[in-house]
Amino acid sequence: MDIDSLLGRATERLAQAGSASPRLDAEVLLGHVLGVDRTWLYTWGDRAAPVYERARFEALVAVRAEGHPVAYLIGEREFWGLALSTSPHTLIPRPDTETLVEAALELAPSARGRLLDMGTGTGAIALAFASERPGWQITGIDRIEEAVGLAVANAERLGIANASFLVSDWFSALPADGFDLIVANPPYIADSDPHLMLGDVRFEPVSALVAGEDGLADLRRLIELAPRYLLPGGWLAMEHGHDQAERVRQLLQAAGYREVASRHDLSGQQRVTLGRLAG
């Protein structure tokens, strides 16, 4: 069977299983198995698929058809142009979170500074920012030891030297010596949200997704605690649910933050809200 036929059959199977992007999923999985990019697949689609690699590919397609995320199956996801290793211990980096990176870069025009990434997971936000601001010192923290190990490995593999990571339950492992900017993509989904039963999130760690108080508990706590660790005039920027922006702005304003505003994601939803500590 040639590569085009193999991809066509896999695409049909994944479409029947309910994949939102069956052809892309099939191409990413086959490219992973063959060690080639998607352009190669387009160019050499008439080539015969090797027997061993075909078996591996079909096994991955079967698991993907059960709903398992592609990023976990291949152990990698691209974010901000960086190839990040992934694992079931962390959330899968998503394009909408690049909105938070864009906001952070806007808030960091100076050549030097210090940024803290709360709940760093794969290190996606910290490493994306670090790659754009080499003069800044970035610290990423996570309470999950395996997540911190993964972030460290990603930094080393990508050769990003200005980001470091450590295990910390909230701010417990940090001295209150001041950051210019704190960013976070905390859990913000209510435990009753039906989306928890759909798509990739079924396989992602619940602790990284769900928060109490209708998803606002961790956002509220960040807003309350961050001033102890921000320099005067420092910024707090947080990702949140598409319907939470107004409430997050109210919480920031009530806590005394200034210049409170929200940013829209790729689909036009208000996805990131930020505020500045009084100088």
Domains by residue range for the chain, with CATH: 3-67 (1.10.8.10), 91-276 (3.40.50.150)
Q: Give the per-residue pLDDT at 86.
A: 95
Query: Is 80 exceeded by the pLDDT of residue 193?
Result: no
What is the four-CA torsion angle of 167, 173, 176, 180, rounded to 10 degrees? 0
> pLDDT tens digits for 183-192?
999 988 877 6
What DSSP character marks residue 156? H
What pLDDT band is residue 125 in, cutting at 50, 70 and 90?
Answer: very high
- Do the bridges between strand 163-167 and strand 179-184 make them parallel or antiparallel, or are there none, so unpaired? unpaired
**Mean pLDDT of the region 142-166:** 97
Residue 30: its pLDDT value, please?
A: 96
The C-alpha atoms of residue 180 and residue 110 are separated, in whole angstroms, by: 10
- Looking at residue 212, its pLDDT comes to 81
Do residues 214 and 251 touch, judged by C-beta distance below 8 A? no
Mean pLDDT of 251-267: 96
Task: Say what the pLDDT of residue 236 is.
Answer: 98
| Residue with token string 């605690």 | 225
Residue 224 confidence (pLDDT) above 90: yes
d(CA 251, CA 218): 12
